[in-house]
Structure 1
Amino acid sequence: MGLWIILPITLSAVSFIGCWVVYGLAVSFNHVCPLSNWEYKNSCLTNETEFCCTDNNVPTISTSGTYFPENSLFSATINAGSFLFLIFCIFHHAHIVDRSIANSLLSKFAMVFGCIAAIGAFVAGNCNPAELVLLHYLGAALSFVCICFYTVLLTSLTSRCGLTGMESFLYPLRIVSTSIQVVVTILYCIFFVQTSYYFKHLSAVFEWTLSANLELFELSYAVEFYCFSSAMLSVLLERRGEEKPLILS
């Protein structure tokens, strides 16, 4: 039973370590500016000895994974994270259905948003923003928006379902995490479309904040997955089997 705790821990670890290693490689190869550098120039002369920051190398997560060699690791990280997140969504839904059938519909909506978010992240991670700009940003936007709905619904389910007995402690934490996710996503979208270098850099900081906040939110579900059992997955198949006679009749 307790072995399933590995899923949320692995999901958070893969996303955190992978993205920050990609960022470190991008900074070391001068593909993006450091997050600590807020000085930008409209143009850079070729004879300048110091690295010059422009709007082409604002340190967003996507820009960090645009160029070789870090782009391969970026795609691998996003692919692994998307797959693990998809499994996370399905397994958590099975847990809810097994323990609280009254909240199965709300959990199903949450699972749908989570699965769409995973698909959006997969598209963004495999469509290089330097070559497939529209598809990359469409996938990223879909992922960011659906993640907001997913965290809101999962936080609501925390208050409705007693899966662990620790809901009185987890619920306030997830309210804070969800509030940060929604508010920072809105601010990120506002500043991302601005032309000022300062606002673009601020949007990059917000994007990394969203990533870290989501990883902590996922990590909090180690408590639920400690109580998860593989037998709970059979609930999804059993319910499908129960519906068959109704359809045939």
Structure 2
Amino acid sequence: MAHSADIFTLKLPSSLFPLGPGLLRARRRPWASLLSSDIGAPAPPRSYNESCSPDPAEQGGPKTCCTLDDVPLISKCGTYPPESCLFSLIGNVGAFMVALICLLLYGQFLEQSRHSWINTTTLITGCTNAAGLVVVGNFQVDHAKSLHYIGAGVAFPAGLLFVCLHCVLSYHGATAPQDLAMAYLRIVLAAIAFVTLILSGVFFIHESSQLQHGAALCEWVFVIDILVFYGTFCYEFGAVSSETLVAALQPAPGRACKSSGNSSTSTHLNCAPESVAMI
């Protein structure tokens, strides 16, 4: 048996190797390296944006993610089934509801003869937001990261632009004190959405766990704030009728004006009809 400082050669009996003599080579490893081998080494620290494993034993101890001290990003909540199935379902249904709400709001403004480029732009941004939600919901971040981030990059800014434009429509179209109060409430919600989305994007690009935690919190606040904003549309939808959807899909030139809000659905006098064509 010949050996050097780091490598030794062990000659084995030829009966073990019918095709020829065999040599077994091995490299010496110091005891320190053996004790610190990968077999007994602790698992590397989990990055903040890494999804929680479905098996707690794979994490090397108790489950430490998805807690108040480690709030996950929304996308990380739909990585593994069955959560991923629910994540896709919520994304698809939510996108359909967003598109339907935008279409009803667009038709309602047409009924009030308040057609403008802002109303059309609001419809476009709302439908763009819905398209982004479909991409986000069906392409999970751990399996199609590029498509998921593209969808999020479309859905979040489009949703923010939608609420800002609708604040303008609500403020300029207010005809009663209740309408003006609702407009002010939406302006506050839009300001919160703007601040949280900007902070979430700024914190997300950093690798610090504290900033990543802040990005996740801001993302959750942004989404909840947008949902509350959509909930305020029940004020206008009290005056929605079957003619509203018809007005959005096939606007008529001789349409009477309706007041916004659920308190009155009567038509106004001295309302000049105008011809409106959808883009």
TM-score above 0.5, yes or no: yes
Structure 1 residues 155, 31: closer, same or farther in 2, change over 3 A? farther
Tell me whether 1:111 sits opposite 2:118 in the alignment: no
Tell me whether 1:218 sits opposite 2:230 in the alignment: yes
Secondary structure (helix, strand or coil) at the match of 2:251 reads helix
Equivalent in the alignment of 1:158? 170
Secondary structure (helix, strand or coil) at the match of 1:239 reads coil
Cα distance in 1 between the residues matched to 2:176 and 2:250: 23
Alignment of 1:228-243 (within 5 A): 228-239=240-251
- For 1:156, the aligned partner's letter is V
Equivalent in the alignment of 2:39? none
After superposition, the CA RMSD in angstroms is 2.7
Secondary structure (helix, strand or coil) at the match of 1:166 reads helix
User: 1:162: Cα distance to partner?
Assistant: 3.7
Structure 1 residues 47, 194: closer, same or farther in 2, change over 3 A? closer
Cα distance in 2 between the residues matched to 1:239 and 1:105: 15
Which consecutive residues of structure 2, in runs of 5 or more, have no partner in the other structure?
Answer: 1-50, 254-274
User: 1:30: Cα distance to partner?
Assistant: 5.3
Equivalent in the alignment of 1:126? 138
Equivalent in the alignment of 2:112? 99
Q: Which has the higher contact order (CA 8 A, sep 6+)?
A: 1
User: 1:61: Cα distance to partner?
Assistant: 0.7
Cα distance in 1 between the residues matched to 2:176 and 2:137: 34
Structure 1 residues 77, 167: closer, same or farther in 2, change over 3 A? same
Structure 1 residues 52, 131: closer, same or farther in 2, change over 3 A? same
Q: Is the 8 A contact 1:184 1:206 kept in 2?
A: yes
Equivalent in the alignment of 1:136? 148
Structure 1 residues 243, 67: closer, same or farther in 2, change over 3 A? same
Tell me whether 1:71 sits opposite 2:84 in the alignment: yes
Cα distance in 1 between the residues matched to 2:59 and 2:171: 60
User: 1:46: Cα distance to partner?
Assistant: 6.2
Cα distance in 2 between the residues matched to 1:64 and 1:47: 17
Structure 1 residues 228, 73: closer, same or farther in 2, change over 3 A? same
- Cα-to-partner distance string for 1:167-216 (whole Å, 9 max, x where unaligned): 12101111100001111111010011110111111111111101110111
Structure 1 residues 243, 81: closer, same or farther in 2, change over 3 A? closer
Identity of aligned residues (%): 28
Equivalent in the alignment of 1:227? 239
Which deviates more from structure 2 when the two are superposed, residues 227-236 or residues 116-125?
Answer: 227-236
TM-score (norm 1): 0.74
Which of 173, 183, 188 does residue 171 from structure 1 map onto? 183
Cα distance in 2 between the residues matched to 1:243 and 1:224: 21
Structure 1 residues 167, 240: closer, same or farther in 2, change over 3 A? closer
Which of 172, 196, 202 does residue 214 from structure 2 map onto? 202
Cα distance in 2 between the residues matched to 1:136 and 1:212: 20
Structure 1 residues 93, 69: closer, same or farther in 2, change over 3 A? same
TM-score (norm 2): 0.66
Structure 1 residues 90, 66: closer, same or farther in 2, change over 3 A? same
The alignment of Structure 1 onto Structure 2 pairs a total of residues equal to: 202
Cα distance in 1 between the residues matched to 2:79 and 2:252: 43
Q: Is the 8 A contact 1:188 1:206 kept in 2?
A: yes
Larger helix proportion, structure 1 or 2? 1
Which deviates more from structure 2 when the two are superposed, residues 57-66 or residues 222-231?
Answer: 57-66
Structure showing greater radius of gyration is 2
Q: Is the 8 A contact 1:58 1:200 kept in 2?
A: no
Q: Is the 8 A contact 1:100 1:161 kept in 2?
A: no
Which consecutive residues of structure 1, in runs of 5 or more, have no partner in the other structure?
Answer: 1-28, 33-44, 245-249
